[in-house]
Amino acid sequence: MAILRNNSRQFGVLASVGALSLFIFAAAFSFGQTKNSCVDCHSALPAPEGVTQQMFSQDIHAQKGLTCVSCHGGDASSDDPTQAMNVKAGWKGKIDRKQVPQLCGSCHSNPAYMRQYDPSLHTDQLSQYHTSIHGKRLAAGDAKVAVCTDCHGVHNLRAPSDPRSKVNPVNVATTCAHCHADAAYMKGYGIPTNQLAQYNTSVHHEDLVARGDLSAPTCTTCHGNHGAVPPGVDKVQNVCATCHVFQAQMYDKSSHKAAFESASLPGCVVCHSNHAITHPTDAKLGTGPEGVCMQCHSRGDNCDQARAEMLNELTQLNQAIKNADQALAEADAAGMEVSEARMAQSQARDALTKARVAIHSFNKVLVDQDVQAGLKVANKDLQVGRQAMVERNRRRAGLGVSLLAIGMVLAGLWLYIRKIES
Ligand code: HEC
Ligand code: HEC
Ligand code: HEC
Ligand code: HEC
Ligand code: HEC
Ligand code: HEC
Ligand code: HEC
Ligand code: HEC
Ligand code: HEC
């Protein structure tokens, strides 16, 4: 222990000395680097040439000590534009859209270089990008697709963890929609431009934006960021399954899986859609407008009968839980002690949740198991609630009889006193 403590003290001293020299070094370094004629001159220029110090200081690259020259080349020590922006000094001029991935990749695909800054940072963005529809089309000469700067921005580019970053989870959808929701821009590709509009109605968007739950998916969670391709039909389940594990396990064992695969149907998406996924209710199992089963099954066939039975079971359990809740609430309001049964109700609710997951087996026996377990609890709780009210009524009646008896005694006494007085 003594050695350990001694060591940690030594380490503390060393760390302070290290931090101090690092500070002096950094200060000296930044003084030595003060001359940046590019930003001095460009700060005063109008758009699009205007790049101010204030804007660039927000950029992760500036914060890590990189300068204009790191990307554009040139001689930042000269105030003479013909010197500063001279191809002989390595000046590259404006980076053409088609050259952007190559430029960014020149550092970001170099593990030895990137390791000096952050060893945990991936260095596969460019190679991934080449596999995406964006990358493939760019390679084929289509400059309208997304390049690195369309998603990340430029000159005030921030780390994805920064809430102001264009690729922070809460901003991704708008970033993609900049092109994908622009019908004029996307004209000619023959793909829909409603992804954002639909996604904005989804339970995923609501969970992410309204509730701030970063575990809910945005565009890139399902499509990938650098390897952006739509998940192929056979891959969709895998995407949904990374989060909805139990439904996927049930679905995988169901006869729907093989049947859908052989018909090239996109699994979960058949019943839930891809972008406009909403909170499902039991009506999804029904035959009304929200129902999803009748698009393939016909009224009265075996599958339809199984569907009707499963729906009936869910409805029954749902109603049983409501009845028990009501009876217990009444008893509670009447001052009866039913807290144990009220707690037990959560087991019935859990059973209902499990039964709704078990729907994905499309096997009425499995659904029945969960429903029966829930019914047992809910019906018992209903009895507890009703029993409590019977007990309360009995006590009330008892109280009434006692009050009557007391009243009669008092009346007798009064009569007796009057009799004595007279
Ligand atoms: C004294 C002012 C001045 C200095 C110093 C200067 N620039 Fe410029 N720069 C300009 C002006 C003005 C333009 C726009 C007119 C033009 O294209 O020549 C420009 C254009 C550019 C462009 C866009 C070129 C294009 O084709 O649209 C880039 C990129 C650029 N500068 C980068 C730099 C870098 C990097 C440095 C430092 C090494 C630098 N500039 C230094 C004034 C300056
Ligand atoms: C991380 C790399 C990077 C750094 C650092 C960087 N730029 Fe750029 N710059 C680019 C790219 C890429 C483009 C092309 C823009 C696009 O694709 O939208 C560009 C475009 C420009 C343009 C042309 C704008 C236009 O639309 O005509 C100017 C001017 C410019 N940069 C100046 C600067 C100045 C000045 C600095 C330093 C303050 C700087 N850049 C730092 C990557 C960089
Ligand atoms: C001259 C080398 C260089 C070039 C060129 C370059 N970067 Fe960087 N980039 C870096 C360094 C160094 C960091 C800081 C890494 C760290 O410590 O987080 C960085 C950080 C980033 C980050 C934040 C990573 C994180 O999570 O912290 C993003 C995003 C990024 N760069 C995107 C780009 C894009 C897009 C381009 C092209 C327009 C580009 N970079 C060009 C060197 C470069
Ligand atoms: C279609 C949009 C899109 C394009 C194009 C794109 N990125 Fe990204 N990038 C993202 C998103 C979204 C994230 C955030 C990832 C996350 O948080 O999981 C990201 C993250 C990053 C990071 C942080 C480290 C990491 O891998 O998570 C770097 C560095 C980066 N991108 C560099 C690049 C470079 C270099 C290019 C061009 C070759 C590029 N990006 C093209 C959307 C894009
Ligand atoms: C600069 C505009 C632009 C931005 C920003 C952009 N895209 Fe794209 N994207 C395109 C274009 C153009 C295509 C080509 C359409 C095609 O080939 O069907 C495309 C194709 C795609 C495809 C393949 C569609 C198909 O089935 O053909 C997907 C998936 C995709 N983008 C997702 C995204 C995601 C996710 C984001 C945001 C992280 C994003 N895109 C950002 C322009 C953009
Ligand atoms: C929950 C997962 C998920 C989310 C979130 C998601 N997508 Fe998709 N997306 C899919 C699936 C699944 C497909 C269809 C794939 C297929 O049928 O091959 C698809 C298809 C696409 C296509 C191809 C054209 C089309 O509409 O069929 C584009 C482009 C696209 N999505 C962009 C986006 C954008 C932009 C966002 C964010 C606003 C987004 N997606 C959010 C799963 C998702
Ligand atoms: C990155 C994780 C993730 C992915 C991928 C994902 N989801 Fe979700 N999903 C969530 C979260 C988080 C919620 C909201 C919390 C909840 O209600 O479970 C949610 C909610 C839902 C709901 C509503 C649940 C309810 O009780 O209201 C459905 C249905 C759904 N997702 C289906 C899908 C489908 C289908 C896919 C694939 C196309 C998918 N999800 C992909 C995380 C994910
Ligand atoms: C054949 C249609 C169908 C398919 C395929 C399907 N579901 Fe469902 N899903 C439903 C129905 C019906 C409900 C509503 C159950 C209820 O509330 O009564 C539901 C409910 C859900 C819920 C809400 C939570 C719950 O369990 O009540 C989630 C999450 C979900 N499904 C995810 C998935 C995922 C992930 C897949 C793919 C692995 C999938 N579903 C495939 C029909 C389907
Ligand atoms: C896209 C078409 C499609 C949809 C939608 C669909 N099914 Fe099916 N279903 C099939 C096919 C195909 C089979 C397998 C062949 C068969 O048995 O008819 C099947 C089989 C079944 C089976 C028999 C399972 C077994 O193991 O014997 C049941 C039960 C069933 N479906 C119920 C449902 C319910 C409930 C829904 C709605 C939530 C639904 N299906 C939605 C196409 C569909």
Average pLDDT of the segment spanning 294-322: 97
Report residue 33's pLDDT band, with 50, 70 and 90 as the boundaries.
Answer: low
- Which of 26-35, 83-92, 120-129, 407-416 has the least mean pLDDT? 26-35
Average pLDDT, the chain: 91
Report residue 34's pLDDT band, with 50, 70 and 90 as the boundaries.
Answer: low
Helix (H, G, I), strand (E, B) or coil at 65: coil
Ligand in nearest proximity to the CA of 196: 6
Helix (H, G, I), strand (E, B) or coil at 334: coil
pTM: 0.90
Closest residue to atom 32 of ligand 8, CA basis: 247
> What pLDDT score was predicted for residue 235?
82
Cα angle value 173/174/177 (rounded, 5°): 85
d(CA 119, CA 157): 20
> What pLDDT score was predicted for residue 1?
38
Whether domain 302-397 has CATH 1.20.140: the reply is yes
| Domain segments of the chain as ranges | 95-230, 231-278, 302-397
d(CA 12, CA 24): 18
Instruction: Give pLDDT tens digits for 77-132.
Output: 999 999 999 999 999 999 999 999 999 999 999 999 999 999 999 999 999 999 99
Report residue 234's pLDDT band, with 50, 70 and 90 as the boundaries.
Answer: confident
- Does 199 sit in the ligand 6 pocket, CB within 6 Å? yes
Contacts 24+ apart (CB under 8 A), 47-54: 51/155
CB neighbour list of residue 77: distance below 8 Å, 6 or more residues apart:
35, 37
- Does 150 sit in the ligand 5 pocket, CB within 6 Å? yes
Cβ atoms 274, 201 nearer than 8 A = no
Ligand 8 atom with minimal separation from the 282 CA: 18
Ligand 1 atom with minimal separation from the 40 CA: 5
- Does 226 sit in the ligand 5 pocket, CB within 6 Å? no
Q: What is the DSSP string of 207-260?
A: IIIIS--TTS--HHHHH-SSS--PPPGGGHHHHHHTT-HHHHHHHHHSHHHHHH
pLDDT of residue 349 exceeding 60, the answer is yes
Cβ atoms 67, 33 nearer than 8 A = yes
Closest residue to atom 19 of ligand 7, CA basis: 204
Contacts 24+ apart (CB under 8 A), 301-304: 303/362
Query: What percent of the chain shows pLDDT beyond 70?
Result: 92
- Taking each helix axis from N to C end, the angle separating 245-253 and 255-262, rounded to the nearest 10 degrees, works out to 80
Report residue 26's pLDDT band, with 50, 70 and 90 as the boundaries.
Answer: very low
For a mutational test of ligand 4's pocket, the pick from 60, 144, 179, 225, i.e. the residue with the most ligand atoms closer than 8 A to its C-beta, is 225
